[in-house]
Amino acid sequence: MRRALLLAVLALLGLPLTGPAAAQDLSGAWFGERFFGAVLIQHLSHRGTDGRFTVRFRFFEGCTEVGGQRQAGRWAVEGTAFRTWIETVDDAPPRGDLAITYEIEHDSGDRIAYRAPNGVLHRAFRVEEDYVMPPPLGCNAVS
């Protein structure tokens, strides 16, 4: 199950693509969540002004956490593209090149929507650096 979820996250990331965007400063902490089928995927990313990032994913079926993943690497906004270069997945080098270019569709400074090359739209909002991911809506705690 964990391997399938890992593959699902990597599939969500897709292949490189460029497109129109209007980006402001994307550094700082960002939280978002979306469903992949019946699995809720939460992500909390920290993007430094030095071009480095970390992101933690949590996967839920109902109120039960069924997996997770950590990624780290580099990020940049180049012209109209938001790019990431994943250098580690769960503290190990990834298999193959994980350079991803997203199309930013909305950036209000505290909320962002960006589309992966495979068409999946990701949404996130700016949070404090010490933000803790909440349990899924309707759940009192994570199990």
Q: Which residue has the higher pLDDT, 97 or 135?
A: 135
The model's pLDDT over 63-97, given as tens digits with 9 standing for 90+, comes to: 999 999 999 999 998 867 899 999 999 999 998 88
What are the sequence ranges of the domains in the chain? 2-127
CB 60 within 8 A of CB 39: yes
Q: Which residue, chain included where needed, has tokens 């350079």?
A: 99
* Cβ–Cβ < 8 Å for 32, 132: no
Residues 6+ apart with CB under 8 A from 23: 77, 80, 82, 104, 107
Q: What is the tens place of the pLDDT at every residue in 17-30?
A: 333 334 458 999 99
For 2-127, give the CATH class.
mainly beta
Q: pLDDT higher for 95 or 2?
A: 95
Instruction: Report d(CA 54, CA 46) in Å as an integer.
Output: 5
pLDDT of residue 20: 36
CB contact set of 130 (below 8 Å; sequence gap of 6+)? none
Predicted local confidence at residue 83, as pLDDT: 94
pLDDT at 49: 94
pLDDT attached to residue 95: 87
